[in-house]
Structure 1
Amino acid sequence: MTTLRQLEYLVAVVDEGSFTRAAELLHVTQPALSHQIRALEQSTGGFLLERLPRSVRLTPMGRAMLPHARAALADAGRARTAARQVAHLEQGELRLATLYSVSLGVLPPALKAWRQEHGDGIAIRLFEHRHADELAAAMTAGQADLAVGPAPAGWAGPVRDLGVEEFVVVVPQDDPVEDENGTIALNQLQDRDWVHYAPSNGLADILNRHCAAAGFQPRAAVRTEQTAAAPVLAAAGLGPALVPSNVLSPHFDGRVLRPEPRILRTLTAYTRDEPDPIAAAFIEILKANAKIR
């Protein structure tokens, strides 16, 4: 099998015109250099160099191989440079998988901070999923370098807690429901039709689970795939909606109530193996800038 070292030795012998000078340049013994050239010739099936008394000359096979040897060495050099640039956060790509609700509420400030710190040298490729189980399966299959979402049960790789996001109930500004200092028990809304989520959206599970704990199953006035649509529909009067508080803009015109007991979700960053330098740096940006506590 031809190796980059053998190609490097061939190019050095040709450029120096001598096995002796090439061995000195490469800091190897001349017998070691000769051995590698012979191994290269054996793998290619013929002589590459003609040994003359005071120099060497390429054979026709050698002349055919030389430009490809130089190209392979140049490609390897560029590969090493690219790897070093990634290690030093100069350029590269981060493949990031997350949930739709997280990409809407948690990621934007972190992505803004990342762009301000690293410019456009390191691109972000975003993969969005509807459900935490779907996210974990995609991560297991190798879709992304880093996943941001609830920690999967039994995940074998590294998991880093980012913080806790809080869910709130949204109703219209003029909704007559009574609250206590901005808090509300979910069972106060058990007779309402809700802005619910499509079953494929993981937030449907969260709403169903907490309503069940409050003693009822929520009836759906409408079901939406999109997390962003839920608070808008609720503010328009279609029914209460349960949404992550971080998806609401500061100027949101609906009425926002905190469920009692509080509904919280811990978010994590998880990887299959130890995070590479880009993923590790992005995790730190997330911790400092994500809209979670």
Structure 2
Amino acid sequence: MELRQLEYFVTVAELASFTKAAEALHVAQPGVSAQVRKLERELGHDLLDRSSRTVRLTPVGATVLPQAQAALAAVAAVRRTVDELSGLVRGRVTIGTVISMGKAIDLPGLLASFHEAHSGVEIGLTEDSSEHLLEALHAGRIDLAVIGRTGTRPPGITLYDIVNEPLVAAVGHQDPLAGRERVGLAELADRALICLTQGTGLRSVVEAACAGAGFRPHIAFEAADPHVLAQLAGRGLGVALIPASLARANEAEVRLVEIDRPRIHGSLALAWRTDGPTSPAGAALVAHARARLPRAD
């Protein structure tokens, strides 16, 4: 009995199709069929019922399947243990990031240096809101995320702050606020505000600060890309609440006005499951990111 035979059998059983199993395994279908037949001959029983379009388990196959799955999981665990002891890391990792991150950190550079250090690891990247990224972390769909910090540490998640900067009011050059150096947050109670979408860390920070100042913000426009927020403000459509560095990057279109009473800060943090990633490759990614990105003050 070979591990390859067990792998082919389990894949066919889980996908209920020799064709889909061959595609998933990147093997020609006749090869999959031949190896499963060889396993059945060795065991002396049919494991799969091929009499209909959908491949089904026979009673013997249904009994064997959990044990075959356990055997493959045990072999994978042995390989992970050996990899950890030898320092050899392979597999796949996925990092998630908020769409509104912009150029706050050099994410391409981070991933490139990780690939150079661990060329055997396949890297995946996904963009979403902080809320959805946290859900993906809990579910184990991603290993590491760059999220907007809201001030409260989510349960079961470890945070490592990497960016912390003030939010400012960005307005068009003809806006009444354009000639001022600073504005109190409460003064924006009657203004049309331009902000990031629901579920982002910065949006949560803005809403909490406005509530503390005694008003509910009137969000006239929202977008996932913070550069779009600056462009909308530059066209005179409202006051964009964005990080100071982003306002400076769009100074040709907007005027930066400091917000005080109170000051508001936007933060980005690395986030991962407190009980650790599920693979050595995931743990290596977390360690690499912490080493490359300095902790914010």
Quickly name the TM-score band, shorter chain normalised. Answer: 0.5 to 0.7
Matched with 2:232 is 233
Task: Give 1:203 shift.
Answer: 3.8
8 Å Cα contact 1:99-1:148 kept in structure 2: yes
Alignment of 1:202-241 (within 5 A): 203-241=202-240
Please report the TM-score for the alignment, with normalisation by the length of structure 2.
0.57
The equivalent of 2:96 in structure 1 is: 97
Rounded Cα–Cα distance in structure 1 between residues aligned with 2:190 and 2:275: 48
Aligned residue in 2 for 1:147: 145
Match of 2:62 in 1: none
Encode CA deviations 1:218-265: one digit per residue, 9 max, x unaligned. 223323344342122112221111123455574642222332222124
| 2:271 counterpart residue number | 269
**Counterpart in the other structure of 2:171:** 171
Do the aligned residues in 1 keep the contact of 2:195 with 2:221 (CA within 8 Å)?
yes
User: Shift of residue 270 of structure 1?
Assistant: 1.7
Are positions 1:243 and 2:245 aligned together? Answer: no
Question: 1:291, 1:244 → 2: CA distance?
Answer: 18
8 Å Cα contact 2:94-2:142 kept in structure 1: yes
**SS in structure 2 opposite 1:232?**
helix
Q: Distance in 2 between matches of 1:231 and 1:86?
A: 50
Q: For 1:98, what is the secondary structure of its paired residue?
A: strand
Could you tell me whether the CA contact under 8 Å between 1:195 and 1:221 is conserved in 2?
yes
Normalised to the residue count of structure 1, the TM-score between the two structures is 0.58
Larger radius of gyration: 1
Is the Cα contact below 8 Å between 1:110 and 1:289 reproduced in 2? no
Q: Give the letter for the 1:96 counterpart.
A: I
Q: Is there any run of 5+ residues in structure 1 with no aligned partner, and where?
A: 5-42, 46-75
Letter in 1 for 2:265: L
Q: Is the 8 A contact 2:83 2:280 kept in 1?
A: no
Counterpart contact for 1:86–1:278, Cα < 8 Å: no
The Cα shift of 1:116 comes to: 4.2
Cα distance, 1:252–1:238 mapped onto 2, change above 3 Å? same
| Structure 2 CA distance for partners of 1:113 and 1:89, relative to 1, 3 Å | farther
Render the CA deviation track for 1:82-114: whole Å, top value 9, x for unaligned.
Answer: x84997577543211232223x3444x133143
Report the 3-state secondary structure (helix = DSSP H, G, I; strand = E; otherwise coil) of the residue aligned with 1:124.
strand
Question: Are 2:117 and 1:115 aligned?
Answer: no
Note closer, same or farther for the CA distance 1:127–1:147 as it changes in structure 2 (3 Å cut).
same
Following the alignment from structure 2 to structure 1, what is the Cα–Cα distance between the partners of residues 233 and 276?
42
Q: Is the 8 A contact 2:89 2:281 kept in 1?
A: no
8 Å CA contact retained: 2:169, 2:256? yes
Matches for 1:55-66 after TM superposition, within 5 Å: none
Distance between the aligned counterparts of 2:232 and 2:142, measured in 1? 33
Look up the equivalent residue of 1:169 and give its one-letter code.
Answer: A
Identity fraction in percent: 26
In the superposition, relative to structure 1, how do residues 285 and 240 fare at CA in structure 2: closer, same or farther (>3 Å)? farther
**Distance in 1 between the 2:285 and 2:173 partners?**
38
Report the count of equivalent residues. 221
Instruction: Verify the 8 A CA contact 1:87 1:277 in the aligned structure 2.
Output: no
CA offsets per residue over residues 181-214 of structure 1, 9 Å max, x none?
xx43212333321114444555433322212222
Equivalent residues of 1:99, 1:128 under 8 A apart: yes
Report the Cα distance in structure 1 between the residues aligned to 2:132 and 2:223, rounded to whole angstroms: 18
CA displacement, residues 126-147 of structure 1 (integer Å, 9 cap, x when unaligned)? 22222x3332222212211122
> Measured at CA, do residues 221 and 91 of structure 1 come closer, stay the same or move farther in structure 2, by a change above 3 Å?
same
Residues 123-142 of structure 1 correspond to what in structure 2 (within 5 A)?
Answer: 123-130=122-129, 132-142=130-140
Aligned to 1:186: 185
- Distance in 2 (CA, whole Å) between partners of 1:176 and 1:187 is 16
Aligned partner of residue 175 in structure 2, secondary structure = coil
Q: Which amino acid aligns with 1:218?
A: P
Q: Secondary structure at the match of 2:136?
A: helix
Tell me the CA shift for residue 152 of structure 1: 6.5
